[in-house]
Structure 1
Amino acid sequence: MYLKTTTIGIIVIITFFSYNAKAQRADKILNAYINSNPSEEAYLQLDNNLYSSNDTIWFKAYVLANANPSSYSYNLYTDWFDDNGKLIEHQVYPIVQGRSDGQFAIPSVYSQQKIHLLAYTKWMLNSDTDFLFRKDIEILPHTAQTITPSKKETQKTILQFFPEGGNLVAGILNKIAFKATDQYGKPVDVIGVILDNHHDSIADIFTQHDGMGYFYLHPEKNTNYIAQYHTSSQDSATINLPSAQSSGIAMQVISQKDNKKIVIRKQDNNASTTTENNPPDTDYNQLHLLAEKDGIINYLSNINLSGIDNFETNIPIQKLSSGILTITILDQEWHPLAERICFIKAKDINFTQPNLSVITPNLQKKGLNTIQLQYDDSLPENLSIAITDGSIPIDTTSNIISYLLLTGQLKGKINNPAYYFEDTSKQKLQDLDLVMLTNGWRKYNWKAIVQGEKISNPYRRDSAYFFLQGSITDVKNKKKLPKEISFITNNKLSFSNNNFIVDKEGHFGDSSFLIYTTTKLTFHPTVGQRTYAFNFNKFSDPSFTKYPYSLSTSTSEILQKIQLGKLDHFKTTLQDVTVTSYKTTYANPIDSLEAPYQSPEFINAPALKNVYVMNQPILAAYGADFIGFLRAKLHMDIDVKPHSPYITPICFVNGQEMPIEAAFQTPIIDIVFLKYYKYFVGAPGGGGNGGALAIWTKQGFPSEYDFRTKNDNPTSFTMTGYTISKDFYSPNYSSSQNDNNAIIDQRKTLYWNPEINLDNKEHKNIQLSFYNSDIAKSYKIIIEGFRIDGTPIYIEKNVE
């Protein structure tokens, strides 16, 4: 029996009220969990698409949480890798109102073909790492290269089948989508038939768009089905379809103007085949129907299929914004039985784009150009703009709209995702639904959430910016504390004196005092003859990076093992080494490793013994036995207190002299390398009979330390903070006597501005001016950003 809509309405009402209390409780639990565990994503716009060595890559980052500008994470991490997967530089930038910007200087002697960018927040690593932002950036070679044509590789066709809802169920009608690609993920057109056990043709298959299509099948029990197909360049081939399970739920979603029509078909034979989506003894009569979008449960109802095999209902979508809606059918115990993603294409994308016009085009050498953005919206917008030489091929197959609404939400490769957002034609909507049918990702463990199980997130979110915070205690009399302490800070940005108020518990800090680059802080006691102990806390570790970028075929396997906790120490200390330049050539390869850490006096001093930790197994076996570790690695009798036959050296941690008791608190796992000097000019008396021990850690210094200062001697230490965001240089050729006019201008990026704010008050029209280069005969303008509600903005314009 196939129920009509009017009858279904009565059943839904009766069913809903019979489970009303449970549904409301589940609704609150689900929404509360999602609100406290938002799904974050990041998108980066670059100033260009093609670079040379010694160029600077400028970027603007947009970070969203549940499709709104993120206020959840405060820090953005960017990792830059070479073609071999080696980390070139690790950076961290503050996120303000869901956005950040920065740059990466390509080393002057970089000779590889690409640089690979990975961007993420720490919170994003709790989810599938396939959803971190990744981009491969083309690098022009130093000299013209002769490319020898390689032997053409034979095309291999990979054909995959996707029953709508997830499972192929015998005895009922199933809609089955398919996707055909070559070995590189590019779409392939196929045509063929579906054959049963008797080799009878029961369905035709043919590509409808980009290697994708669908067909209907009514599979029988104990029957195997194969697809026989061919491509334009390949002879006929066959492949097995997924096996049909004897019992289960098949779901079909039909798009309507204001609704998603849900058709549910049930097959219950009591001899259910146990699968991941269908545990044994599954009850297919009492079901939950749930729809989630952007971290909000938009629809939740209970369905009773007792005595019926087919069911229809509508999920209203007229008030939803553009994006992916996930529809899930679950049993009474909240096990998922079927799931389908579908796309909602609302009017928000097409009617919120600012108008871009070129007021003064000037393609003469060093000509002045003026463009205008006209804004007519009730919500503020934040944008970034890149204007590039029109002769440079810019990849426009992906943009902020297609990434945030589509590719950033799905696993696997999607060919030309921007195509689906060029217009709202019926054809585009049908093609986009094929993408939905052939992709999917289950974000949530609904059963665990509803039952209140504690779901472990190994990475805590960055809930604050990197600022100085800590506590101070009087070693001899803990009740006597200064009311104020003073620090001198010295880094690339400034040299200044900063005072911090100390509360009655000894805590101090200032959230407005952000730490940038490598900063040296020196504490000067403000009270006389006392000994103070300091404990400094950083909310986050700016050296943090977990997943190395790998180009090998085993990447997914490695990440899976890490995620399962089987390789907790997969990260080596080498990955935290930040290489800012390749200009210096070192005779000894070890010197190139040490140089980023050491000042000249350490590099030039002849060390008696060296220990490099990064290429050894994790030394957890030593635990907190730092002295045992030193004795084993240096083969010397070292101790904290001088007594025969032990040696007590002068200690340095990351170049700063430190009491030996404090230095020996260094966590062994944080050490990159250490050196022992018999005589060291930087130590008092050359180190005396005990010599000098220098320790360098991968983080500059561990997240917590006990620093002590006695009498009036200052205590110094260093912290590693945010990467400095620089300003893009735009030349000014307004004066004929300007020295810049004589320089040949060959810029690839003519203009870059990461911060354009359009509000609903003053900035209704904004004009921007820039000078052309000496070689550009045309230019391309690309503007990206989002509204305050998270709606993405994309504008593209060519000027010739």
Structure 2
Amino acid sequence: MGKTQSIGPDSLLARWTAQQPIEKVYVQFDNKRYAPGQTIWFKAYLTSLQLPSTLSKNFYLDFHDANGKLVEHISAPIVSGVALGNWVVPDKFSGETVTVLGYTNWMRNFDSAFYFKRTLTILSSLTNTQKSATVLPTTTVQFLPEGGNAITGIPCNMAFKAVNQNGLPASISGTIKNKAGEEITNFSSSHHGMGTFQYLPQTGETYTAYWNDQLGNDHQTLLPAAEPVGVNLILHPGSLERNFEINRSAEVPEAWKKITVLVQANGEVLFKAVANLSTKTAIRSKIPVMQFPSGVAQLTLFDANNKPLCERLFFVNNEEYRLNAFVKTDTLNLEKRGKNVFEITVDDSTLSNLSLSITDGNVNGAVDDNILSSLLLTSDIKGHVHHPAYYFTSDADSLAKQLDLVMLTNGWRRYSWSTVLEEKLPKLKYLADSAYLSLYGKIDGLSESKIKKAELMNMILQSKDSSKSMIFLPIQPDGTFSQPNVILYDTTRIFYKLNAATLWAKNKVSIWNNLYTPDKNRMITNTHFNIDTAGNGILKFIAAEAKRLEQLKLETTLKEVVVKSKIKTPMQELDQKYASGLFSNDGIQFDLTQANEGGNTVLGYLQSRVAGLLINNPNSPDASATWRGSRTDFFLNEFQSDAQQIFNINMNDVAYIKVFRPPFFGSFGGGAGGAIAIYTKKGVDATKSIKGLDYLEWMGYSPRKEFYSPNYAEQQVGFNTADLRNTLLWMPWINTSINNQTIKVQFYNNDFSKSLHLVLEGMDNEGKLVHISKLLQ
């Protein structure tokens, strides 16, 4: 077997992948079961070509009830391949589950089977309900010859998969008989309803499986018919190398005697060779899988005319995807409101982005899938995989053989080779979101002369917290205006006026955004429900007790409340007033509320005040700043800006400047050079400026709130009520780097948990993944 030049399917596949790159998503939740009124916290991880995805800027998460009806649509910005958010389960939610779909606008171009999907339990009834009538399982089975073909006269490795009416595994056993009723071999499922058996198809024969389900019922299923002429493929187990066999019939078309062997994963060709079967009917060789990236790989045999003959999936597990992270328990205190301390350490020198959930250990056990099984396995195959996380619990040979059963019984469906070879690229209906939330608008009925006179649409954006920012948008000849990359959450009231002209009643102003909104009537089909009810009783008690205490609090009049808390410094109060989201993280702060810097510029003021920050031409509109050799980003009122805008700011209007050391994850692209955030003054002048102005309401990203974790070292209002938190800690944004490899985490227990379930997941900037699950008791 000899290597060939890069021609045919591999070059066509490379072209296909370049034009239609694959994007994957995994979502971590803080919990797997909730009650009405509780918050579902989530963090999404997106990859493309096994690196943090840069394809999309916006992420969408849909919640569907048990009937498949859409009940909530969430949108969130993607920063460095991750997105955060939350949803509060409505108090009157009546279903027992929600099915969650995670995707991007780009992913909508392809099969929705590759969206992230998870079903969460909702305990909508807090009292014990009668058990529903027992439904006896009905079992079906599929028989799938390895490589896709059974050929007469050539040994066949036949795989099978048995499932019940919900698509969940079912155990079966039986025998294979020929048309004369003679027993050829027997078989039984060995793992999650799957198994294999070998037999030799004979010319003129048909074969039938006689099998019994778990209830002892008899069934008959005809095996796939064997072809009289063809080629088959057998792939043997192995970790460093995978041996394979190619067998052909004695008489085959000439093109079938020269076979190209091609292995690809994620659209990248990993192996290509030619098998010459001109003078022989069988050949054996090996694939050096130790050089491949881990994940699902596709092995295909092509004839001399590049027609696919056989296909087989296999899984590569070289462990190179694992991020070297661990969690150390410093203090474990399971007493009522006991203080717990942990340390998270990442030994790799890369930038990592992690998320941590700690929940009650009796309510929440391990989930069926995780970041490893999702991004490396289920996101690449179509069809339900039962408990996919199981296949990443060890590197035992027995587990690898069980995973190979999954590969034999599931197909690759991201594209078909025939479509690739014919260069039939499907027309893309949806573009990738290349911009974050963006503001678009149009003024109807505005004359060309008035547009020239006005030039700008002046807008004041007022958020729900009454914070304001001002933008000035050029008006195009057709009356349109736009502002890309506006990071705003919830509903914003936008006050507007023309710069140097008046709007009349006929000049209708409309505004919209670029975010995808699904059809409210969209329905999905829910299958594969396998709800773990082990912790439901405890959570029902917690939720019912929480409701009782809430009602008691409403009926009670507090005559006196004593509040003792730490006094915030003026700088902390300033930061709380102006900074939000990622801009609330630690930075170098400058209070200019009382400063007199009218003759200076922002960058002129900062020059030589921040160690490591290099500023060039600070008093020029061409100014620039760098940190550690990378460009430093500028933000004005948390909108990304350029040097020209920063130069034009009157320093007497500046209230607060905050400088972030690199990396700053609030920047588009990761902020390798850090960031400078400038905040203009709020107050009476800003309030006066909107009086008498027309306004429109504009929806930004879905509202997002901060997770609350009580600090029982301080006395605060509410600490005298019962602590019934099921999620004790949710930290969705944990960053480590070579200079900050260890993060200390501390939190307080609730009033009842005697064991804790800890889950740490994440990804670094090289695409390495981590999943750590611990039960602490």
TM-score past 0.5 threshold: yes
Residue 347 of structure 1 corresponds to which residue in structure 2? Answer: 319
- Partner residue, 1:613: none
Compared with structure 1, are the counterparts of its residues 136 and 26 closer, same or farther at alpha carbon in structure 2 (3 Å cutoff)?
A: closer
- Once the 2 structures are TM-superposed, how far is the Cα of residue 525 of structure 1 from its aligned partner? 1.4
2:144 partner amino acid? F
Q: Cα 1:65–1:81, aligned 2, differ >3 Å: closer, same or farther?
A: same
Q: Alignment partner for residue 541 of structure 1, among 492, 509, 515?
A: 515
The residue that corresponds to 1:427 in the other structure is 398
Alignment partner of 1:37 out of 10, 13, 20: 20
Structure 1 residue ranges without an equivalent (≥5): 1-8, 271-280, 555-711
Superposed displacement of residue 487, structure 1: 0.6
1:436 counterpart letter in structure 2: M
The superposition leaves residues 184-221 of structure 1 with CA deviations (integer Å, 9 ceiling, x where unpaired) of 33333333221112222222212222222112222123
The CA deviation at 1:513 is 2.6
Structure 1 letter corresponding to 2:727: T
Pick from 695, 708, 733 the counterpart of residue 755 of structure 1.
Answer: 733
Question: Using the alignment, how far apart are the partners of 1:402 and 1:466 within structure 2?
Answer: 31
Deviation string 1:316-359 (CA, Å, 9 cap, x unpaired) is: 2222222111111233444322111101111225x534111110
Q: Distance in 2 between matches of 1:547 and 1:337?
A: 43
Q: Kindly provide the amino acid, as one letter, of the partner of residue 255 in structure 1.
A: P
Amino acid across the alignment from 2:759:
I
Taking the TM superposition and a 5 Å limit, the aligned residue runs for 1:100-249 are: 100-148=83-131, 150=133, 152-231=134-213, 233-249=215-231
Quick one: distance in 2 between partners of 1:237 and 1:415?
24
Offset of residue 156 of structure 1: 2.6
Structure 2 match to 1:65: 48
Question: Deviations for 1:15-40, whole angstroms, at most 9, x for unmatched residues?
Answer: x2xxx3xx346534422321331222
User: What is the CA–CA distance in structure 1 between the aligned matches of 2:483 and 2:760, rounded to whole Å?
Assistant: 36
Length-normalised TM-score, structure 1 = 0.71
TM-aligned CA deviation for residue 136 of structure 1:
1.5
5 Å-filtered alignment, 1:365-380, equals: 365-380=336-351
Which residue number corresponds to residue 266 of structure 1? 248
Provide the rounded CA distance (Å) in 2 between the counterparts of 1:237 and 1:413. 23
Which of 738, 747, 750 is matched with 2:716 structurally? 738
C-alpha distance in structure 1 between counterparts of 2:745 and 2:526, whole Å: 44
Aligned partners of 2:399 and 2:741: how far apart in 1? Answer: 33
Task: Name the counterpart of 1:293.
Answer: 265
Structure 2: how far apart are the matches of 1:497 and 1:399?
Answer: 40
Distance in 1 (alpha carbons) for counterparts of 2:507 and 2:297: 55
Indicate whether 1:776 and 2:753 are aligned.
Answer: yes
CA offset at residue 100 of structure 1? 0.5
SS where residue 260 of structure 2 aligns?
A: strand
Offset from partner CA, 1:461-498 (integer Å, 9 cap, x none): 21211122467896243882545431122332445342
Distance 1:133 1:165 in 2: 28
Listed as ranges, the matches of 1:246-395 within 5 Å are 246-267=228-249, 269=251, 283-349=255-321, 352-395=323-366
Structure 1 residues 26, 199: closer, same or farther in 2, change over 3 A? closer
Checking the alignment, whether the CA contact within 8 Å between 1:324 and 1:406 is kept in structure 2 is yes
Q: Secondary structure of the equivalent of 1:138?
A: strand
**Alpha-carbon shift at residue 118 of structure 1 (Å):** 1.6
Say if 2:55 and 2:432, in contact at 8 Å, map to a contact too: yes
Match of 1:6 in 2: none
How much does 1:443 deviate? 2.1
Deviates more, 1:311-320 or 1:433-442: 311-320
The range that moved more, 426-435 or 474-483, is 474-483
Q: Which amino acid letter does the alignment assign opposite residue 218 of structure 1? A: L
Q: Which residue of 2 aligns with 1:717?
A: 696
Matched, 1:444 2:412: no
SS at match of 2:343: strand
Tell me: CA distance 1:375–1:751, structure 2 relative to 1, closer, same or farther (3 Å). same
Alpha-carbon distance between aligned partners in 2 of 1:282 and 1:63, rounded to the nearest angstrom: 46
1:219-271 alpha-carbon deviations (Å, 9 max, x no partner): 1233110112234531443211011122222111123343232322223756x
Deviation at 1:390, TM superposition (A): 1.5
Deviates further, 446-455 or 763-772: 446-455
TM-score, normalising length from structure 2?
0.73
CA distance in 1, matches of 2:303, 2:68: 44
**CA–CA distance in structure 1, aligned partners of residues 295 and 116 of structure 2:** 18
1:522 aligns with 2:495: yes
The alignment yields a C-alpha RMSD, in angstroms, of 3.0
SS at match of 1:219: coil
Counterpart secondary structure, 1:404: helix
> Which sits farther off after the overlay, 352-361 or 429-438?
352-361
Asked if the contact 2:105/2:516 (under 8 Å) is kept, the reply is: no
Give the Å deviation of 1:46.
0.9
8 Å contact from structure 1 (residues 173, 218) kept in 2: yes
Classify the secondary structure of the residue corresponding to 1:488: strand
Counterpart of 2:226 in structure 1: which amino acid? A
Match of 1:403 among 356, 371, 374: 374
Change (3 A) 1:450 1:477: farther
Structure 1 CA distance, aligned partners of 2:474 and 2:364? Answer: 57
Judged with a 3 Å threshold, the aligned counterparts in structure 2 of structure 1 residues 380 and 319 are, in CA distance, closer, same or farther, namely farther
